[in-house]
Structure 1
Amino acid sequence: MTLSYADVKSAADRVAGHIRPVTLSPVDPGTFGDAEVWLALEMMQHTGTFKARGAVNFTASHIESGAMPDAGVVIASGGNVGLACAWAAARHHVPATVFVPENAPAVKVAKLRALGADVRQVGTEYAVALEASRQYAATTGALESQAYDHPLIAAGAGTLMEEIHEAWPPVDTVVVAVGGGGLFSGVAASAHEHGVRVVAVEPENCRALNAAIQAGRVVDVPVDSVAADSLGARRTSEMALHWARRAEVTSLLVPDDTIVAARRALWEHRKLAVEHGTAAALAALRSGAYEPAPGERIAVVLCGANTDPSDLVR
């Protein structure tokens, strides 16, 4: 499956009026030397993450082409992607069935049901829920939605970069955390078109994209990080590896303690409660893993806020 800049532009038209345009907020001057740094507050998006963009593009595109079945969409998820899928389906008056493990957090199950999804709880592992969702699709004809490895999902996510560039045309660099690679792929496709450098950040022990770049092919990696709930993909997508090569992306790894520190700093200085995975992008600058050039203009993507803030309040 391929992803082009044209796909991102088409997605921008589809998501307009459905998603919340990203807000940019400046970091205090001098925080990172002479660099000018702005935070892209995407965690304020519908359902709390960037995933709403890809989900609404995926849904709208299939409706537009007449390919949305009467049975609607189905997905297996224990987290953000299920919420995004359910939200996008409700937005377009399409049935959504979400398979989750029996031990999925009650609060997430309640949110899914509040969005109108038909929640099916099976097994105690994601793999069981995934297989059940596939069987459901085969039996009912429901459309299988994806977490990240689909051009419509990635293109929708890429509309975030389009908005960043439109709001701040002089931007030189965008820093983004990477899990499976959907957000990264879309951002990279857009950034490359506009001549913007991409810095891809992963936890040291959740390095699917970094390992693929080094190996020259997609490979499986172990997953062990405080940010594994959102960045813990065992392998990246071929699409992400393609864009990492084409856009000459800078791939960086950050240790967990810097992620925890960045997340706490966002709370203490801005009262922003974000996921650990979200904080990984900022951790690259705060830890020195990425050293800005003098005068460099940097946008740091804060991509999700579905977190328990209780550990942030002392």
Structure 2
Amino acid sequence: MGELSYAEIKAAATRIAGRVRPVTVTRADDLAVDGGAAELYLALEFTQHTGTFKARGAQNFLLAHREAGTLPAAGVTIASGGNAGLACAWAAREQAVPATVFLPATAPQVKVQRLRSYGADVRLVGAEYADALTACLEFADVTGALASHAYDHPDIAAGAGTVMIELLERIHGLDTVVVAVGGGGLFAGVATVAQQHRIRTIAVEPENCRALNAALQAGRPVDVPLNSVAADSLGARRASDLALRAAQHEGVRSVLVTDAEIVRARQALWDDYRFAVEHAAGTGLAGVRSPTGYRPSAGEKVCVVLCGANTDPADL
């Protein structure tokens, strides 16, 4: 089982500097806790290129391969109509690299159009994601294109973890960082940096979309059913080995929240701050608002990473 290193994330931060937007942090309303209040900060990573943190990993993935001389003329390919596909297509455009993105024929036209706006060659194959993935891997095998992944690669996770390095520069004395978890790329990167600086990491998942929590209980990645309002961006069937290894370190806590709590937290971010974010970002905030979530101590400095904003704001 592999383990992400702090050195890999530091290298990624140097590599992508100037190519991504530095994270903005805002002080939010304090959290009422026993004996007083905890300081709450929000990391506005949803303002990142393409609307999510995934732009960091996509840039690092391509730049690392370019440095190593392993970036093929055929470019990069990925099977994803979600945030990972958008980030991959954008990073490829920024680096003048061909990108071929595979989607099921049932993909919403708005996603296809946005991918094409980044210059990607979009291929519609089959009726399900599995069909698109098979075609993507076959394409990589035949053409020599570099196959990318949504989260399960050290370069992707290391790139995502660079946001934590920036948070350390912006919040002095940070005690706890809170992240929503899907497959675990962002979590693995953030938790690796946090551990290096003795900062607690809270991994938050929907109770019916709990790949990392299930992996911790089983001691290995296992498949889980997906049934959550946040499954569009947190819907990984299994957590990565990198995420599981990071979660097994001291200072990490896994918490589960309900869909109702996620919806309320997302709505609160709109009502209180006018942030229109994905349910995944609401999941992170729900992790410190839920009665079953993480309860900070008085005076504790807590930062929630608001990870993405590719959402339909019509229901806010």
Q: TM-score range by the shorter chain?
A: over 0.9
Distance in 2, matches of 1:203 and 1:267, equals 20
Confirm or deny that 1:307 pairs with 2:308: no
Aligned position for 1:108: 111
Q: CA deviation at 1:29?
A: 3.4
- Conserved in 1, the CA contact under 8 Å of 2:31 and 2:40? no
Q: CA deviation at 1:2?
A: 3.1
CA deviations on 1:222-254 (whole Å, 9 max, x unpaired) are: 111111111111110111110111244100000
CA deviations on 1:255-288 (whole Å, 9 max, x unpaired) are: 0000000011111111111111111010111223
Q: Secondary structure at the match of 1:246?
A: coil
* Greater Cα offset, 243-252 or 132-141: 243-252
CA deviations on 1:55-113 (whole Å, 9 max, x unpaired) are: 00000000111100000000000211000000111111110000011111111111111
Aligned position for 1:7: 8
Distance in 1, matches of 2:124 and 2:130, equals 12
Q: Secondary structure at the match of 1:123?
A: coil
Structure 1 segment 26-105 matched on structure 2, within 5 A:
26-29=27-30, 33-105=36-108
Distance in 2, matches of 1:13 and 1:43, equals 21
Distance in 2, matches of 1:78 and 1:216, equals 31
Distance in 2, matches of 1:30 and 1:87, equals 37
Which amino acid letter does the alignment assign opposite residue 162 of structure 2?
Answer: T
CA deviations on 1:167-187 (whole Å, 9 max, x unpaired) are: 113100000000000000000
Aligned position for 1:215: 218
TM-score for both structures, normalised by structure 2: 0.97
Aligned position for 1:174: 177
- Conserved in 2, the CA contact under 8 Å of 1:198 and 1:247? no
Distance in 2, matches of 1:143 and 1:123, equals 22
Aligned position for 1:146: 149
C-alpha RMSD of the superposition: 1.0
- Conserved in 2, the CA contact under 8 Å of 1:77 and 1:100? yes
Distance in 2, matches of 1:79 and 1:217, equals 26
Distance 1:30 1:247, change over 3 A: closer
2:192 to 179, 189, 194: 189
Runs of 4 or more off by more than 6 Å in structure 1?
none
Distance in 1, matches of 2:250 and 2:82, equals 30
Distance in 2, matches of 1:54 and 1:141, equals 21
Distance in 1, matches of 2:65 and 2:28, equals 39
Which amino acid letter does the alignment assign opposite residue 58 of structure 2?
Answer: A
Distance in 1, matches of 2:229 and 2:157, equals 24
Distance in 2, matches of 1:31 and 1:67, equals 51
CA deviations on 1:164-205 (whole Å, 9 max, x unpaired) are: 011113100000000000000000111111111000000000
Distance in 2, matches of 1:247 and 1:24, equals 26
Confirm or deny that 1:297 pairs with 2:301: yes
Structure 1 segment 219-238 matched on structure 2, within 5 A:
219-238=222-241
Q: Secondary structure at the match of 2:248?
A: helix
TM-score for both structures, normalised by structure 1: 0.97
Confirm or deny that 1:19 pairs with 2:20: yes
Fraction of identical pairs, as percent:
62
The runs of 5 or more residues in structure 2 that have no matched partner are none
Distance in 2, matches of 1:127 and 1:106, equals 19
Distance in 1, matches of 2:225 and 2:71, equals 36
- Conserved in 2, the CA contact under 8 Å of 1:181 and 1:209? yes
